[in-house]
Structures are given as C-alpha cells and as structure tokens.
Chain A
Amino acid sequence: MTAFGKLIRTTAFRLTLVYLLLFALFAASLLAYFAWNTRRLITEQITTTVNAEASEINEIYLRRGLRGLAFTVGNRALRPGANLYLITTPTGVALGGNIGSLAPGVMATTGWSETAYRRLDEGDNAEHRALVKVTELSNGFRLLIGRDLEERRRLFGIVAKAAQWSLLVVIVLGIGGGIFVARRVLRRIDAMTGTTQRIMAGDLSGRLPVGRSGDELDRLAENLNAMLERIEALMNGLKEVSDNIAHDLKTPLTRLRNRAEEALARSGSEADYRAALERTIEESDGLIRTFNALLMIARAESGQARGNMDDFDAADVANGIFELYEPLAEDDGMALKVKAAPATIHGNRELISQALANLVENAIKYGKPEPAAQPLGADAVTASREILIEATREGDQVLLSVTDHGPGIPEVDRKHAVERFVRLEASRTLPGSGLGLSLASAVATLHGGELRLADAHPGLVATLAIPARAGGDRLAAQTQDVPQKVA
C-alpha cells in the first residue's frame, strides 16, 4: 500500500470528503438563493422606478400635451445614466427618446416586457437587454419607459464567479485539510501502532505517546497506558509469585532430599529407614497440599471455577462445616458454635465450603486466647475459647463469618495477611501451607465478594461477604467480579 493510498483510506480523509461535499452543496445553495433574491430585488426596483416615472410623465403629458411630453423626454433622455425612453406615433414612427432600435413587436403590446434594444447615442452594435413598460397615451401615441438590465446581468456574473471561486477554494482547502488532518491522525496512530508492536515483542515498559490536547486519541492513549500499567504490574506480580512458589516449594524439597540422603548415608536398621521414609512421605504430602492450594487459588482467581455454580443455602454450608469441625475444635479445647439463618448464594458450593473450612481451621489453630489473658471467672474463659460460625444476610450480601477470641491480627497486617506468600512467609514456622486466607479471599473474589478481616475485641472476625442471590440476577452476579478482582 502506497503512502498516498494509506492516506486516502484513513477515516479522517473520508470524513473530510463527506464534509467537503456537504459544504459545497451548502455554499452552492447559499449563492443560488442570494442570486435569485438579488435578481428579484433589482427587477422590483426597476419596476417601481419605471412605474413612478411613467405616472410622472403621464401627468406632464396630460398637463402640457404632446409637446411638453416630447420636451421632457428629450431632456431626461440626455441625462447621464438615463432610463430608456421612446415615444411613437399611432403609425409606429419614433418621435423622441434615446432608443435606436428595438426588437419588433414590443411597441405593439402594452404592459411589461423584456427586450433587446440598441441605444440611439451608442455607435457600437452591442445589443443590450432592458425591462420596458409600454403605455398607450390618448389618440394612439405610445410611450415606452424602460431600464437597462446590464446591472442585473453584471451582478449575476459576479455571483457566478463567486460561486466558481468559492467552489474551487472549498475543494482545494477541503482536500488539503483532509490530507493534513489524515496525516496528523495517521502519524499518531502509526506511533501508537509502533509502540504496541514493541510491547507485543516483549518490551512491557513501552507507553503510548500522549499529546497535550486531551482529545479522543489522547484519552484513548491514556486509557491504553493505564491498561499497560496494570498488565505490567500483573506480570511483575506473577513473576514475584513464581519466585515465591519456587522458594516455598524448594525449601521443603531440599529438606526432603537431605533426609533421604542422610538416611541413605547412615547404615541403620530397618526401623530407621522406615522412620526416614515416613517423614519423607509426610513432607511430600505437605508439598502436594501446598501445590494443590496454589492451583486452587490460581483457578479461583482466573475465574475458571465459574462453570460449576449453583444456588445453595449459606446456612447449609455453615452447618456442614460446623458439623465437620466441631469434634476437632472440642479436642483442641475450643468450643465451636454455629448461628445460621437461611440465605441463598449463587456459587460454587465446594469452594465456599473450603473457604469457610480454612477460616475455621485458622480459628482453631491460631484463635486460642493468649496465655497472658487476665485470669477471670470460668465464664470469661469459656467465652474466649469460643469460635462462632455465622451465616447471615445483610442487605444484598450474605455474610459467612468466623469469630475467634485469640490474639487476632493487628490492623496494619490485615491487608497483608490475605496476600499470597506474604502470609506464607510469616507462617513458615507454623504448620500448614499458610495459604488458607489467600484461598478464602480468592474464592470470595470469584463470587464477586470479598474477605474481610476485623477486630473481635479481642480476636479476629473473618468474613466472607458474598453477593446474595438476587432473583433473576444470575448473569450479573457471575460477571460483576471481573473488575473487582484486581486489587
């Protein structure tokens, strides 16, 4: 495609052509209107003047007779820029005036007519046109008064010329402007294309040029830049995540390998080998769990699990998890309680159950009252060892919360706690993969909700806030989480 071909294919150029056509039409109609009106005005003016003069001369004729008429006409005909006059006898012989010749038959009919004529005093043979009025005087004499139409013709010529020129100017300016605008736009678009190609080639730091005019292209470029910013941040996040995965999977792998090596190097009894192997299995099971949790989070975050969504009652989930964990909590010296009101959620039951299970496991693991707690009565001790699972509906949200009375999480760390691997980092010395909150958060996000951590004075309230199933609002509930996922 040649540069010119590219140019005339641009939207800007095509738009210019359309505007050009419209503008030319507009100019032409304006000029036509002007010309027509001018012509009408001039004609009207001539008619008025001629009529006035006709009645004036007629009066002179009535007062002073033919002689007076001839005298007046003769005088007036000699004035510079005079009107046209002609007096004829009933037989058609000219008695006076300034007309040399007329088109035949003009004097035969009275009233207005347009005719070709020649002046008496002009030597040239040029024919002129005039608008004339023929009136019959008494006893067959006829008087012609008229006005040359040269003025009108000239004006018409001027208008026609103006039309020609303006059309030419419109076309030249239009095409020129079109090319200018198209090239300007094309240059900016080409710059954007160049940047996007560089970005596609892998250089994510590239940004589109943004002008200062704040026009639609600048706004587009700004938005695209914001998008690129986001993508770059995501890519960096991904890189960080994979670095962390590498670290967090490699550490136990190294431990695993070291143990195997150690067992191999030491010639021990069968029981020693067995113990080493058992520890190896334990370690690898832990690894598998971490891996599964990571995959699950990734899956929830990418929204792939959205296929298996159904309507179900949050209270059932709360009761189910309560029932599953109640004995475990009791064995651990905690009192698990449940308080659930029916509330319908549209979502993945399995994932929500797992998210809630994670919160309960956390509460059992970390929600024990601090040993330093004041030695109050037996009642206070029971209360502080209580873990409450709640399912409630609040406005258009369903809240699934787990409240413990342990040390809680300091406010500054709460946002941090949900993040993947940051948490993992902090809980490295504790049992478990440390991904529980991350998964719970990812699951909440997948459902268009969020995981909230708050103070229970003392302790932690972890709440999965999920949009309630609104009647017939299935699609909205499924799609609305996309923009919220970024945080």
Chain B
Amino acid sequence: MHEKVSRAMVTEINPVTSSANSSPNPSMRLLIIEDDRESADYLVKAFREVGHVADLASDGEEGLALADSGEYDVLVVDRMLPKRDGLSLIGTLREKGNRTPALILSALGQVDDRIKGLRAGGDDYLPKPYSFAELLARVEVLSRRHGGPAEETVYKVGDLELDRLSHRVARGKEELTLQPREFRLLEYLMKHAGQVVTRTMLLENVWDYHFDPQTNVIDVHISRLRSKIDKGFDRPLLHTIRGAGYMIRDGIR
C-alpha cells in the first residue's frame, strides 16, 4: 500500500530535489539492505529517479560485505534481515571503524526500539510504514552530515544570517527578534539549507519529541517563524514542500 503512496510523493518532490541537486546535496551513493524484494526494488528505483545511485543487498551478510567496502554515503538498513539482523550489522561495521551513516527502517516503531537502534550505532531511525519523502529527506540530511563541512558559527541563506554564538538573526540590515524556540527552529532549518526537512524531523530535533502529534502543531510554529523572517521581504526563503515538509533556500520561485 505504501508503495503507491510514496510514488505519489516522489512526483511531488521531484522538482524540488532535482533543483536541490545542483548545489549542496549532489548525487549520493546509497546501499539499501532490505530483504523484501518489492520494497527494495521500489526504493532503488525511487532513489535513482531523484538522481542518487542505489545498490541493493538482500540479506545481512551480503549487506555487511558491501557496506564494508566503504564506498557508500548512506546505508538504509532494515531492522529484521535474514542471516544477520540490522542492528548487529551496524554494530559490526562500527566495530571495524566504518562510520558510514546508517538509517534503520523498522516495523517496530516504538520509542525504546528507536533508542536501541541508535545505541547500536544507527544514526537515524524510521518506523515502517514511512513515506518516501520522509526517507529521502532523512537520508539527504544524514549524507551531508557525513561528508559535510565543519559546523559553522554563522549560517547564511540569501540575505538571512544566523549567528549561533551570539544568537543574533538578521535579514539584510534588519535585526530580527526570535523566541528561543523559533531560533532553534530556524537554526535547524538553516543548518540543512537546501534540504527538505520533514515535520517529524523538526519535532524530533528541535523539540526532542518522538511521538506523532495528531494536529498540525509544527505548521503553526513554521508560519510564526515565516511571518518573522519572510514577511515584508520580496523574496521568501522558507518554503513549504507539499507532501514532505519545509526547506529554507534562496532562489526557488
């Protein structure tokens, strides 16, 4: 069922990612370790469609051997795999000193499972069923974290500047006053400028909650932030990506 869902999202997100490909997030090399043939094929195809290179391993041992070659930007690992389960695979890789970012996909979507996954050396955790948009956004963020530049003290997007040390935010010459949470929200968005950031990612990283609110709480926070940074300026920087999330970026539309 989620296949159809996600395909729909791919078409939605395509224009965004292809334009994003040009600058901060170039094509990635991914390894998908998933034993369910259909969803694995679908993932490979979907990642290729948005311009990434994806290889496939269908069991834990094969996945470990391939991942160990170290040529991947991100690993997408199913938690339950034949021959060797996902957590042990990641654990073994980490023991060998391989630090390739790994995202764990799991049908066990509970809080303690996520903690277990992250403890085993995973970098992110996504419960099934997921939308491809969510997966793509997370994988792209992980990849940049892997090879990305050192943490800067000042983030810049267009004429918007955020100083992480002095907590100052300015657009052009105008100083902006943000609430602490708004600051952290903007900080996270700007850290991943040019990348799609989903609502769950925001809730997890800015608020540190891992549950799924039934309402559009995040949207309201974004619209408040937007009214502060974009209102009255001719070029909007904070964009809503339909069916996926938000992106801060200079030069779309």
Query: Across the interface, which residues of B come within 8 angstroms of A307, CB to CB?
Result: 112
Query: How far, in angstroms, from A123 to B113 measured CA to CA in the complex?
Result: 110
Please tell me which one of the listed residues A324, A328, A348, A432 contacts residue B111 in the complex, with CB atoms under 8 A apart.
A348
Closest partner residue, chain A, to B217 (CB atom) = A328
- Whether, in the assembled complex, A47 has its beta carbon less than 8 Å from a beta carbon of chain B, the answer is no
Query: Across the interface, which residues of A come within 8 angstroms of B212, CB to CB?
Result: 289, 292
Please tell me which one of the listed residues A351, A353, A364 contacts residue B215 in the complex, with CB atoms under 8 A apart.
A364
Q: Which of A63-71, A280-288, A444-452 contacts B (4 or more CB under 8 A)?
A: A280-288
**Is the pair A305, B214 in contact by a Cβ cutoff of 8 Å?**
no
Query: How far, in angstroms, from A353 to B217 measured CA to CA in the complex?
Result: 14
Closest partner residue, chain A, to B211 (CB atom) = A354
A487 to chain B, nearest CB (A): 24
B77 to chain A, nearest CB (A): 21
- Whether, in the assembled complex, B224 has its beta carbon less than 8 Å from a beta carbon of chain A, the answer is yes
- Whether, in the assembled complex, A16 has its beta carbon less than 8 Å from a beta carbon of chain B, the answer is no
How big is chain A's contact interface, by range?
35 or more
**Is the pair A350, B210 in contact by a Cβ cutoff of 8 Å?**
yes
**Is the pair A305, B111 in contact by a Cβ cutoff of 8 Å?**
yes
**Is the pair A284, B1 in contact by a Cβ cutoff of 8 Å?**
yes
Please tell me which one of the listed residues A280, A296, A308, A357 contacts residue B213 in the complex, with CB atoms under 8 A apart.
A357
**Is the pair A277, B8 in contact by a Cβ cutoff of 8 Å?**
yes
Query: Across the interface, which residues of B come within 8 angstroms of A320, CB to CB?
Result: 207, 209
- Whether, in the assembled complex, A459 has its beta carbon less than 8 Å from a beta carbon of chain B, the answer is no
- Whether, in the assembled complex, A194 has its beta carbon less than 8 Å from a beta carbon of chain B, the answer is no
Please tell me which one of the listed residues B112, B211, B243 contacts residue A357 in the complex, with CB atoms under 8 A apart.
B211
- Whether, in the assembled complex, A299 has its beta carbon less than 8 Å from a beta carbon of chain B, the answer is yes
**Is the pair B211, A350 in contact by a Cβ cutoff of 8 Å?**
yes
Query: Across the interface, which residues of B come within 8 angstroms of A304, CB to CB?
Result: 112
Query: Across the interface, which residues of B come within 8 angstroms of A260, CB to CB?
Result: 4
**Is the pair A328, B110 in contact by a Cβ cutoff of 8 Å?**
no
- Whether, in the assembled complex, B220 has its beta carbon less than 8 Å from a beta carbon of chain A, the answer is yes
Within 300-336 of A, Cβ neighbours of B (below 8 Å) are at 304-305, 307-308, 320, 323-325, 327-328, 331
A349 to chain B, nearest CB (A): 9
**Is the pair B109, A295 in contact by a Cβ cutoff of 8 Å?**
yes
Given contacts A327-B220, A331-B220, contact A295 B110 (CB under 8 A): yes
Query: How far, in angstroms, from A138 to B200 measured CA to CA in the complex?
Result: 132
* 16 new A-B contacts at CB < 8 Å, known A324-B207, A324-B213: A274-B8, A277-B4, A280-B4, A281-B243, A289-B214, A295-B110, A307-B112, A308-B115, A324-B209, A325-B217, A328-B217, A328-B220, A350-B209, A350-B211, A353-B209, A361-B214
10 shortest interchain CB distances as A-B pairs: A277-B8, A354-B211, A327-B220, A328-B220, A281-B5, A432-B214, A350-B111, A328-B217, A308-B112, A331-B220
Could you give 20 example pairs across A and B, Cβ below 8 Å? A260-B4, A277-B8, A280-B5, A288-B129, A292-B109, A295-B109, A305-B111, A305-B112, A308-B112, A324-B207, A324-B209, A327-B217, A328-B215, A328-B220, A351-B111, A357-B209, A365-B215, A432-B214, A433-B214, A436-B214
